[in-house]
Structure formats: C-alpha cells, structure tokens
C-alpha cells in the first residue's frame, strides 16, 4: 500500500475582509487625525445654557391684591399693569396731606395779611409822630411868644400901665402854651412807644411768614410722599418680556419685598458656557463661536466670546470647597464664559428661551 504524501491545500485569503479592514483602519486614522486637527483650532463644550435677564415682580408696599391683570406666560410690554393693590387707605392719607397743605397755605395768607396791617400801622404811627413834631414846633413858638408877652406885661404891671386883669390873662396864656407843649411832648413819646411796639409786631409777623412757608414745604413733601406711595399700588412691567407662573390671586395679602412672580426680559439673551480650566490656553475675548441649540437641530447661531468669569462656579457655591482641610482630591474646575449672539434681534435667536441646553464651538483662530 503506497503511503499518502498529499499535503492540505492552503486556505484562501478573504480579500473582502482585508479590504474592509484596510478601509476601517484608514477611516479610523482619518477620523483621529481630523479630530486632532479640529481640536487644535476649536474648543467645544455641551455644558452651556441660554441665559436671560429675569426681573422679579416685588411690591414696594403691603396690601391686598384687588386685580391681577396678567396670566402665566403672557407677553407684556414696558409699563403694562401687572397687579393692582387696594388703595383706599392711601387715598385717605393723601386727602389728609392735601388738607394739611391747604391749612398751611391759609396760615400763610393770614400771616401776610397781619404783616400788611402791621406795616400800615407803622406808617400811620410814623405819620402821627411827624404831625406831633409839627405841632410841638408850633407850640414852642407859641410858648416863646406868650413868654415874651408875659415879660412885657410884667414890666407894665410894675408901672401900673396895665390892669391886673390884663396881666393875669397874659400869665394864663403863657401857662396854657407851656401846658400844651408838655401835652404834645407826651403824645410824641406815646406815639414813639406805639411805633416801636408795632415794629416789633411786624417782625414777629415776618417770622410767622417764614414759619408758614416752611410748614407749606413740609406739607407739600407729605403730599408728594402720599402720591408716590399711592402710585405703588399699581405694579407695572419693568421691561418687555414674558411673565412666568403667576403665584398670586385676587384678595391675597402681599408684603413689602415679597417676590410674587418674574418677568423674563427677552430683549437681551446670551449663553453661559462652562469650559474646563484645561481649555483656556488659547481662548480670547472676541473669538468666533458657533452655537447649536438642542431645540433647533441643524441651525448655526453666530456668536462671539464676550467675557470670562471672575471665578469658577465652585467659588460661588453655597459651600465652596476648602482644599486646605481634609484629604485633597484634584478636580478639574469649570469657568463660566459669557457668549453673546452677533444678531440678537434675529427671529430665531428670539425663540431661544432661558435655560435651554446648547453646544458651543469656539474657533481659536
């Protein structure tokens, strides 16, 4: 029996498998190289959200709500009335302040009238003094004349040139003139005293006018304060935006400083992206950014780097980490970066809502 010297035939190589393997290797290499090259010129993160200014609606005074004029998610414009509080008590206070102001103005009118009368009395008193002065001068001349006549009659009576009756009449005329002069002098003194008293009264009246003016200013301030407080019963929208959930009902009592609901101001929208600290090597303000929103797939939003955060997010936490105590574990921190849209007035940008998740791609070149 002849020995079996036949060898097994070699296995045929599967060319399709080799080709696929080569293609996979090439594709993987191309993908890795492209990702490496892309990573050298871009920084990306999906830890980013849309942000907007949110203005809380806070009453400045306490009171009961009489009207709620907005609903959840309602669009409002600047100055639109949101809430109205009960204003009856404040209207009464305003009326009281206005009445006090009217009283103060009446007091000022009375003080001015008293001042006018006092000035008139001063003028009358001074005119009376001038009249008395003229009368005193006349009386002095009369005293001088009667004294001279008396001296002549005294000489004549010695020579028996006149009768005793004539002498006595002249003596009486002299004494009458002297008495009249004394009376006029006393009248002048009284008029001077009265003028001084009227002048003092006029000064006091002038002081009352100044006090009345000061009182009017104070009462006017009270009126302005009452009007300002009354205006606080109408709560208006600070800017154009969308109302959040309205957590207040008619008849509810609200306190000063209590946050009722909020108005999201959609006129200013931006993105806050939290990049790892290892990604900040080449990032600069002004670099181009492409923003992709999960809500609008395929849409590229043009933006740019506006500013970098002053500290990492952990620094603003309620309990910031203290690496000086306990065991230290190094954790890569993230720094918030503000990214602003280049066309904030675009219709698509306005459809973005605060809190939406977005992905940002910063172009480092």
The yes-or-no verdict on residue 97 having pLDDT over 50 is: yes
339, β-bridge pairs: 271, 305
- pLDDT-derived band at 115 (thresholds 50, 70, 90) equals low
pLDDT of residue 204: 61
- The mean per-residue pLDDT over the stretch 96-101 comes to 92
pLDDT of residue 200: 61
43-54+264-365 in CATH: which number? 2.40.30.170
pLDDT of residue 174: 75
The CA–CA distances, whole Å, from 65 to 57, 211, 233, 253 equal 14, 41, 9, 6
- pLDDT-derived band at 1 (thresholds 50, 70, 90) equals very low
The yes-or-no verdict on residue 13 having pLDDT over 60 is: no
Cα distance between residue 242 and residue 264, in whole Å: 5
DSSP, collapsed to helix, strand or coil, labels residue 48 as strand
pLDDT of residue 203: 62
- The mean per-residue pLDDT over the stretch 202-222 comes to 79
Into which CATH architecture does domain 59-86+233-258 fall?
Answer: Beta Barrel (2.40)
Cα distance between residue 151 and residue 169, in whole Å: 13
> What's the CATH class of domain 88-231?
mainly alpha
The CA–CA distances, whole Å, from 267 to 77, 208, 261, 346 equal 11, 57, 19, 11
Percentage of residues in the chain having pLDDT higher than 90: 35
C-beta of residue 60 within 8 angstroms of C-beta of residue 233: no
HSE toward the beta carbon, residue 193, CA cutoff 13 A: 6
pTM for this entry: 0.62
DSSP, collapsed to helix, strand or coil, labels residue 251 as coil
- pLDDT-derived band at 312 (thresholds 50, 70, 90) equals confident
The yes-or-no verdict on residue 17 having pLDDT over 50 is: yes
DSSP, collapsed to helix, strand or coil, labels residue 67 as strand
The yes-or-no verdict on residue 20 having pLDDT over 50 is: yes
5 vs 283, which has greater pLDDT? 283
The yes-or-no verdict on residue 186 having pLDDT over 80 is: no
Give the closest residue to 238 by CA, choosing from 270, 257, 266.
Answer: 266
The CA–CA distances, whole Å, from 153 to 165, 170, 173, 174, 175 equal 11, 7, 12, 11, 14
Give the closest residue to 132 by CA, choosing from 204, 188, 64, 77.
Answer: 188
The DSSP output letter for 73 is T
243, β-bridge pairs: 263
What residue segments make up the domains of the chain, in order of their start?
A: 43-54+264-365, 59-86+233-258, 88-231
- The mean per-residue pLDDT over the stretch 250-275 comes to 90
Lowest mean pLDDT among 11-25, 84-98, 343-357: 11-25
**Cβ neighbours of residue 229 closer than 8 Å, sequence gap 6 or more:** 61, 90, 93
pLDDT of residue 50: 93
pLDDT of residue 332: 85
Q: Pull the structure tokens for residue 266.
A: 């959609």
DSSP, collapsed to helix, strand or coil, labels residue 198 as helix
The yes-or-no verdict on residue 353 having pLDDT over 80 is: yes
Which tens digits make up the pLDDT trace of 130-140? 676 777 777 77
**Cβ neighbours of residue 37 closer than 8 Å, sequence gap 6 or more:** none
Which strand (E) or helix (H) includes residue 36?
helix 15-41
HSE toward the beta carbon, residue 245, CA cutoff 13 A: 1
C-beta of residue 67 within 8 angstroms of C-beta of residue 83: yes
């Amino acid at each position: 029996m002849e020995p079996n010297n036949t060898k097994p035939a070699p296995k045929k190589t599967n060319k399709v498998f080799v080709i696929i393997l080569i293609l996979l290797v090439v594709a993987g290499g191309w993908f890795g190289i492209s990702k490496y090259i892309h990573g050298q010129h871009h920084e990306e993160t999906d830890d980013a959200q849309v942000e907007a200014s949110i203005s809380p609606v806070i009453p400045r005074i306490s009171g009961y709500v009489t009207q709620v004029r907005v609903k959840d998610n309602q669009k409002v414009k600047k100055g639109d009335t949101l809430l109205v509080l009960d204003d009856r008590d404040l209207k009464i206070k305003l009326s009281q302040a206005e009445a006090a102001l009217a009283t103060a103005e009446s007091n000022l009118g009375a003080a001015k009238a008293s001042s006018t009368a006092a000035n008139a009395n001063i003028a009358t008193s001074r005119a009376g003094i001038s009249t008395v002065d003229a009368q005193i001068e006349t009386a002095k001349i009369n005293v001088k004349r009667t004294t001279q006549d008396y001296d002549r009659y005294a000489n004549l009576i010695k020579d028996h040139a006149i009768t005793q009756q004539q002498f006595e009449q002249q003596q009486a005329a002299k004494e009458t003139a002297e008495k009249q002069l004394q009376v006029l002098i006393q009248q002048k003194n009284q008029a001077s005293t009265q003028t001084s008293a009227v002048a003092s009264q006029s000064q006091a009246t002038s002081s009352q006018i100044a006090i009345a003016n000061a009182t009017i200013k104070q009462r006017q301030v009270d009126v302005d304060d009452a009007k300002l407080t009354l205006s606080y019963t109408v709560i208006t929208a600070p800017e154009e935006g969308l109302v959040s959930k309205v957590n207040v009902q008619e008849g509810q009592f609200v306190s000063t400083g209590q946050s009722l609901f909020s108005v999201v101001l959609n006129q200013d929208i931006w993105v806050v992206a939290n990049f790892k600290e290892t990604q900040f090597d080449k990032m600069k303000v002004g670099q181009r950014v492409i923003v992709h929103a999960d809500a609008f797939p395929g849409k590229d939003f043009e933006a740019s780097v506006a500013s970098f955060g002053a500290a990492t997010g952990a620094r603003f936490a309620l309990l910031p980490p203290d690496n000086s105590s306990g065991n230290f574990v190094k954790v890569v921190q993230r720094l918030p970066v503000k990214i602003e849209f280049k066309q904030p007035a675009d219709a698509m940008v306005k459809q973005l809502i605060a809190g939406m998740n977005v992905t940002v791609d910063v172009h480092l070149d």
